[in-house]
Amino acid sequence: MEQVLRIFFTLSLIILPTMAQTQTAPYQNPDLPVDERVNDLLGRMKIQEKIGQMTQLDITTINKTGHQSNVELDPGKAKELIGEHHIGSFLNGEAVPAGQWFQFMDRLTRLAVNESRLGIPIIYGIDHIHGASYLGGATIFPQSINLGATFNEKHSYNAGAVTALESADLGHQWNFAPVLDLGVNPVWPRIWETYGEDPHLASVMGRSYVNGLQSAHKAGSKKMAATAKHFIGYSDPKSGWDRSPAHIPDQVLHEFHKPPFKAAIDAGIKTVMLNSGEVNGVPVHASHRLVTGLLREEMGFDGVILTDWADIKKLVNFHYTAEDYKEATYQAVMAGVDMSMTPLTLEFNRAMTELVEEGWLSEERIDASVRRILTLKFELGLFEDPYPTDDRLDKIGSTENRQKALDAARESIVLLRNSGDVLPLEAPGKIIVTGPTADSKRNLSGGWTIAWQGGEEEQYPEDMMTILDALRAEFPNGKIVHATGIPGDKELNDADLVVYAGGEEPYTEFIGNISDLTLPQQQLKEIAAIARGNTPLALVLVQGRPRLITDVAIDAEAIIMAGLPGFEGAEAIANVISGTVNPSGKLPISYPMDPNHYIPYNHKSSDVYFFDGGDPNEIIQGDDDPSLFPFGHGLSYTTFDYSNLTVSSRSITTEESLRAEVTITNTGDRQGMEGALWFITDHVGRITRPVEELQHFEKVSLEPGESVRLEFKIDPTDHLAYPDENGKLNLEPGRFTIKIGDLTKEFRLKAVK
C-alpha cells in the first residue's frame, strides 16, 4: 500500500502541474492584456514552433485534390504539417458553397488546436478582393477601380464590411485586400485592383475599406484583418509589366506612393504585404531601408508584414540577390519580414532552422516576428473562438448586401461621351447588342473572381445577368437582338441603337502583361464598321485598364467606361443606358490618347485641355495632351453649375486654416449626383510641384433646381506641405490656387514671424 501511495504521489507531481498549466496558463486567460498573453505563450514555445508560426502554406498542400479547386481537407497532410512542422497559417482556395468551406475550415481549425502542443490556432488568408470572391453565392462588388470612380467612400466601406460579414464566420479571418498601389501606369495588368492614380483618392477609399472590413464584427460576424498591399512602388514598373523593375525617386515614393499606406496604418490596418518587385535596383523583400526603416520606424506600422507568393525564393532565381534559399531567407527576415508565403514547400522552415543553428539568426529576432503574429491571432479572437460557425449563412448574398453592390456599380459607371444626347434611350423599338462582352458574365468581374484568373463562364451564378440579359429586362417591350460579329446594313438601319460591349477578358498579374494598350484590332474593326451606318452607337467598355480607342472614339455617339462592375454590373449598365440611373461616375485615372505617351493628371501640361469651347463631346486630338479623357471626367444626364466660390481669407499663416465654400446647383431637369472634386495648385516650390492635386472630394445628390453649399477646410500641414526625398515635410510660403469645377481662387501662405 505504501508503495502504491508513493507512486500516486510521484505521478501527481508530474500530472497536476501539467493540468494546472493547461487550465490556468496566462495566455489562455481572456481577461489578461494581449501583450501579457503573448509574452507568456512565447516563453513556452520551442524554436521550431516559432518558425512554424512564421510560415504560410497554400491550400494545395492540405487539399485532397492537390489543387485549389474542390476544397476538401486531407487530414493526414494537415496533421503532419501542423503537428510535426507547426505551420501556423494557410491560404487560398476557389469559390465553393459556404457549407463546403465550413466543413473544411472546421476540420482544419480543430485539427490545428488539437495537434499543436500549446493549442495555437491557425490563421487562414484569402484573396477576397471585391467581395468574398472565393465563396459560392457571395455578394460580388465592383473592382476597386470602379469604387474609385464613384468618388463615394461609402461604397468602399460597404465592400469591406460585406466581405467580412459574409466570410469571416467561415474562418476566412485574414483578407488580402485592399490594394493601395497607385494606378499610374495604364499598361500594368493590375491597375483595376487599385482605386486609381491619385494618392488622396486611394487614401480615402483604402481607409474606408479597412474600416468597413475590420469593424464588421460589430454587426455580427467574427473579426477579420485587412492587408495593405503591395508596399511599395509595385504599380509603377518602368516596362509596365507585372513584377518588373521600378525606378522611382525617393521623393516621389514619399509624396505619392506612401500616403495610401499611411492612411491605412492610421486606420489600424493589421497586416501589410510587400511588393514582389524591386525599386531602384533593390528587391523590396530584401530592403531593410523600405521595410524596417520606412514602414516600421517612420510610418509606425507595428502589425504583421507578409511576403507575397514565393517571393523569398525569387531573391534567388528572379532578382539574383542571394546565392541560395538560406541566404535569401536571411535577407528577407533581416529586412523585416514576419511571415513567408512560402507557399508550397518547407524550404523556409529548413532555412530558418539552419540559420538559427549556425548563429546567423537570433531567437530574439524570431521572437519579434512571432510576437506580432500571435498578437494578430489574439486580437482576432482566435484563441477564444477559433472555430468557424454555420449559423449565420443567410447573410451570404443577401438582398441587402447585393443592393449595396448594385448601388456601387451604378455610381461607378462613367459616361465619357454622349454626342447629341443619344442617351438615355427611354423607349426603344429595337436595340442590337454585339461585341465580345455582350453575353459574357466572367468579363464583367475580371480576375480574382471565383478563381485567380476569373472562373469559367459556367461557374458564374445562374441568376447573374449579362449585358444582353440586363437590356432585355430593362426594356421588356423593346426588341433586343444579339448579333455576333458585324450586323448587316438592313439590321442596323432598323435599330434605334447599337450597343457594342467590348474591352477585355479577365486576367491578373503577369498573365495580363501586354505590349500594346490599344483595344484589340478585331474590336476596333467591328466598331469602325458599325459606326459607318446611320444607327447611333453606344460603346460600352468592360475592361480593367484604359485600352486605347482614339481611332474610333469620335465615331461612337456614346462611350461608357464600365470598368469591371461585378455581378450586379450588367444591371447597372442597362440602368444608365435607359436613364433609370443618372450616371455619376468620374474617371479615377487619365484615359490615354496615344501609345507610349501617358502620365498621371497631376503631372500633365497645365495649358492643354480636352474640352474645346466647353463641348465635352468634341474630342480634340493633339500632340501635347496625353489624355483622351482627363482624370475626373464624367458626364451626367443633368447639368451642375458651380458658383460663388469663396475663401475665408486671401492670406493665411502656416499656423492658420482656410475655409473654402462653393455652391453647386442642379440646373437640369432630372435628379443627379455630382462628385465635387477640390484641387489645390502650389505655384512655386523647391521641388517641382504637381500641376494640381486632388485634396478633398464629396458626393452630393440634388433634385432639379436644388442647390447645396459645400465647405472644404484647408489645413496648411495636411494640404499645402509636401515631403522631400527623406520624407521630411516642407511647408513653404507662397501662392496657391484652389479649384473646383471651373472656378478658382488664389490665396497666399505666409510664414510666421
CA 143 – CA 445 distance, rounded (Å): 7
Return the amino acid letter for 737.
T
- Burial of 34 from C-beta contacts in 10 A (0-12 / 13-18 / 19+): middle
What pairs with residue 612 in β-bridges? 615
Over residues 573-601, mean pLDDT: 94
Over residues 606-619, mean pLDDT: 44
Cell of 132: 468574398
Cell of 627: 489624355
**pLDDT tens-digit readout, 132-144:** 999 999 999 999 9
C-alpha R_g of the chain: 28
Cis peptide before 424 (omega within 30 of 0): yes
Which range has the worst mean pLDDT, 19-28, 115-124, 243-252, 728-737? 19-28
**pLDDT tens-digit readout, 475-514:** 999 999 999 888 888 888 889 999 999 999 999 999 999 9
**pLDDT tens-digit readout, 691-713:** 999 999 999 999 999 999 999 99
CA 243 – CA 642 distance, rounded (Å): 43
For 267, 336, 570, the CA distances from 260, given in Å and listed in that order, are 11, 20, 30
CA 437 – CA 539 distance, rounded (Å): 11
- Determine how many CB atoms are found less than 10 A away from the CB of residue 392: 16
pLDDT given for residue 618 in this prediction: 55
pLDDT at 12 over 80: no
**Taking a C-beta distance cutoff of 8 angstroms, is the pair 380, 546 a contact?**
no
pLDDT given for residue 474 in this prediction: 97
**pLDDT tens-digit readout, 512-521:** 999 999 999 9
Q: What share of the chain is helix, strand, coil (3-state, %, to 5)?
A: 35, 20, 45
CA 717 – CA 707 distance, rounded (Å): 31
Cell of 297: 520606424
pLDDT given for residue 426 in this prediction: 87
> What is the enclosing helix (H) or strand (E) of 540?
strand 537-542
Name which residue leads in pLDDT, 572 or 219: 572
**Taking a C-beta distance cutoff of 8 angstroms, is the pair 591, 571 a contact?**
no
* Nearest C-alpha neighbor of 375 from the set 469, 276, 271: 271
Name which residue leads in pLDDT, 504 or 16: 504
Which range has the worst mean pLDDT, 11-15, 70-74, 624-628? 11-15
* Nearest C-alpha neighbor of 166 from the set 178, 175, 179, 153: 175
CA 652 – CA 431 distance, rounded (Å): 58
DSSP, collapsed to helix, strand or coil, labels residue 708 as: strand
**Taking a C-beta distance cutoff of 8 angstroms, is the pair 674, 642 a contact?**
no
pLDDT given for residue 625 in this prediction: 61
**Taking a C-beta distance cutoff of 8 angstroms, is the pair 81, 62 a contact?**
yes
pTM: 0.94
Domains, in order of start, for the chain: 2-394 (3.20.20.300), 413-629 (3.40.50.1700), 640-750 (2.60.40.10)
Cell of 748: 497666399
Cell of 710: 459645400
Active site residue 308: yes
DSSP, collapsed to helix, strand or coil, labels residue 148 as: helix
DSSP, collapsed to helix, strand or coil, labels residue 49 as: helix
Catalytic option among 58, 106, 308, 311: 308
Which pLDDT band holds residue 613 (cuts at 50, 70, 90)? Answer: very low
**pLDDT tens-digit readout, 176-235:** 999 999 999 999 999 999 999 999 999 999 999 999 999 999 988 999 999 999 999 999
**Taking a C-beta distance cutoff of 8 angstroms, is the pair 213, 164 a contact?**
yes
pLDDT at 336 over 90: yes
Q: Where are the extended beta strands (E) located within 270-380?
A: 271-274, 278-279, 282-283, 304-306, 340-341
- Burial of 383 from C-beta contacts in 10 A (0-12 / 13-18 / 19+): buried
Q: DSSP letters of 457-525?
A: GGGS-TT---HHHHHHHH-TTSEEEE--SSPPHHHHHT-SEEEEEEE-----GGGG--S--BPPHHHHH
pLDDT given for residue 597 in this prediction: 78
Cell of 324: 541560395
pLDDT at 467 over 50: yes
**pLDDT tens-digit readout, 410-432:** 999 999 999 999 999 988 999 99
- Determine how many CB atoms are found less than 10 A away from the CB of residue 438: 23
For the chain, what is the mean pLDDT? 93
- Terminal alpha carbon distance of the chain: 94
pLDDT given for residue 452 in this prediction: 94
CA 519 – CA 595 distance, rounded (Å): 11
pLDDT at 11 over 50: no
Angle at 257 between CA 301 and CA 194, to 5 degrees: 100
pLDDT at 27 over 70: yes
Q: If you ran DSSP here, which 8-state letter would residue 155 be given?
A: H
pLDDT at 16 over 60: no
Q: Which residues, in sequence order, are CB contacts of 93 under 8 Å at separation 6+?
A: 59, 68, 71, 101, 126, 134
**pLDDT tens-digit readout, 274-317:** 999 999 999 999 999 999 999 999 999 999 999 999 999 999 99
Which pLDDT band holds residue 624 (cuts at 50, 70, 90)? Answer: low
pLDDT at 620 over 80: no
Cell of 63: 487539399
pLDDT at 69 over 70: yes
CA 728 – CA 251 distance, rounded (Å): 10
pLDDT given for residue 23 in this prediction: 59
